[in-house]
Amino acid sequence: MQLDAFKVLFWSVAGFTAAMMWTPLLTGFLYRHRMWRKEVRAKTPDGYVPVEFQKLHAEREVRVPRMGGLLIWVTATLLTVIGFLVARFTESPLADKLNLLSRNQTWLPVATLIAASLVGLADDVLQVFGRGGYAGGGIRFSRRLAMVTAIALVGAWWFFFRLDQASVTIPFLGEYALGFWFFPFFVLVMLATFSGGVVDGIDGLAGGIFATIFASYAAIAFFQQQYDIAAFCGLLVGAILAFLWFNVPPARFYMTETGVLGLTTTLTVVAFLTNAVAVLPIISFVLVAESASVILQFLSKRLRHGKKIFRVAPIHHHFEAIGWPPEKVTMRFWIISAVAASLGVIIQLLG
């Protein structure tokens, strides 16, 4: 148990340290090549002109680089590969113990992180250079949804045919076999989690929320003796905290799609691997609230002839619009996330 705890903590510290060390290289590259939007976004994907958003964030949107998420997923990927190679080509029992890459636990989340992050990176690059399927550049939202769906289908196939898992456990109620319904359910959960990525909108907000969520799943995996998953989540937490160090106001860079898309899809996979998908809406409560605010705003404008529920959606921008300082919004959302995540862990472990 002590060595397993050391493994999780080791990779957490390693992720933080490695990410901090190469941040100067990343920021130098991003600023040198002006990797930010060249103009303020004119429309949201649903065709709405974000007047309130432009008032709040227009200036920094065209002066702060995108692609800060590279710091997270590149660090996690490289350290995972290095740990595997060291264990493979040495005879050290400690190196073998520290290796976190395993077929039944971490192959799929690592592959998902890489694949989804690359899709997000393509979207970021297109937005920087003003190319793509809609005003402002980038991959059309519908196409990104299609790509996330494709990643989800591959993940569901792996669970169903490789891991022989096609059920969901609900705390205090038991296990429910889904059969082939597992496929649409898995896709639905991944798309819903991906939609929560709209949380990336204020300096420091997304980093703190994702660090809390992955730390919670590291705890769940550890107590379920899924130590490779726990270590991988710890590695992500360390890298996210390094990102957060440079993303607190004023942000040196933004996470954007290459970070958000990778983290949300990987979170879905981790939730299923730990059989803790039932508590995912609780642990990621802030993501749920963010996504719900966008959906409610959209429906209200469509069904109530343009009338809005919130000044701006997602909801964190609403609080900014009514006068809350961004730091106040961020820290209060951190607190809510920490409390909700703790509650979700308790329910999972007791159930």
pLDDT digits (tens, 9 = 90+) for 149-173: 999 999 999 999 999 999 999 999 9
Question: Residue 36 falls within a domain, yes or no?
Answer: yes
pLDDT tens digits, one per residue of 33-44 = 999 887 766 555
260 — pLDDT class (breaks 50, 70, 90): very high
Read off the pLDDT of residues 325-347 as tens digits, 9 standing for 90 and up: 999 999 999 999 999 999 999 99
Selection from 189, 190, 165, 162 nearest residue 177 by Cα: 165
Q: Which pLDDT value is given to residue 37?
A: 83
* Residue with more model confidence, 232 or 313: 232
Mean pLDDT of the chain: 92
Q: Residue 46: its pLDDT value, please?
A: 45
Identify the weakest region by mean pLDDT among 48-57, 127-136, 185-194.
48-57
Residue of 60 and 20 predicted with greater confidence: 20
What backbone torsions phi and psi does residue 130 show, to the nearest 5 degrees?
65, 30
Indicate whether 320 belongs to any domain: no
Cα distances from 274 to residues 35, 89, 271, 287, in angstroms, run 37, 30, 5, 19
- Structural domains of the chain, count: 1
Q: Could you tell me which residues come within 8 angstroms of residue 138 by beta carbon, excluding any fewer than 6 positions away? A: 123, 124, 126, 127, 132, 257
Domain that holds residue 84: 2-275
> Does residue 85 lie within any of the structural domains?
yes
Q: Are 246 and 253 in contact (CB under 8 A)?
A: yes
Would you say residue 248 lies in a domain?
yes
Sign for the pseudo-dihedral over CA of 23, 26, 29, 35: negative
Is position 200 within any domain?
yes
Banded model confidence at residue 208, pLDDT cuts 50, 70, 90: very high
Is residue 344 assigned to a domain? Answer: no
pLDDT band at 29 (very low <50, low <70, confident <90, very high): very high
d(CA 319, CA 332): 11
CA distances from 108 to 16, 24, 152, 166 (A): 22, 30, 11, 16
Structural domain includes residue 13: yes
The answer to whether residue 347 sits within a structural domain is no
Q: Specify burial of residue 128 (Cβ count, 10 A radius: 0-12, 13-18, 19+).
A: buried
φ/ψ region of 174 (left if φ > 0, alpha if ψ in -120 to 50, else beta) reads: left
Structure tokens at 252: 């040196």
The angle at the Cα of 271, spanning 222 to 257, to the nearest 5 degrees, equals 115
More confident position, 279 or 38: 279
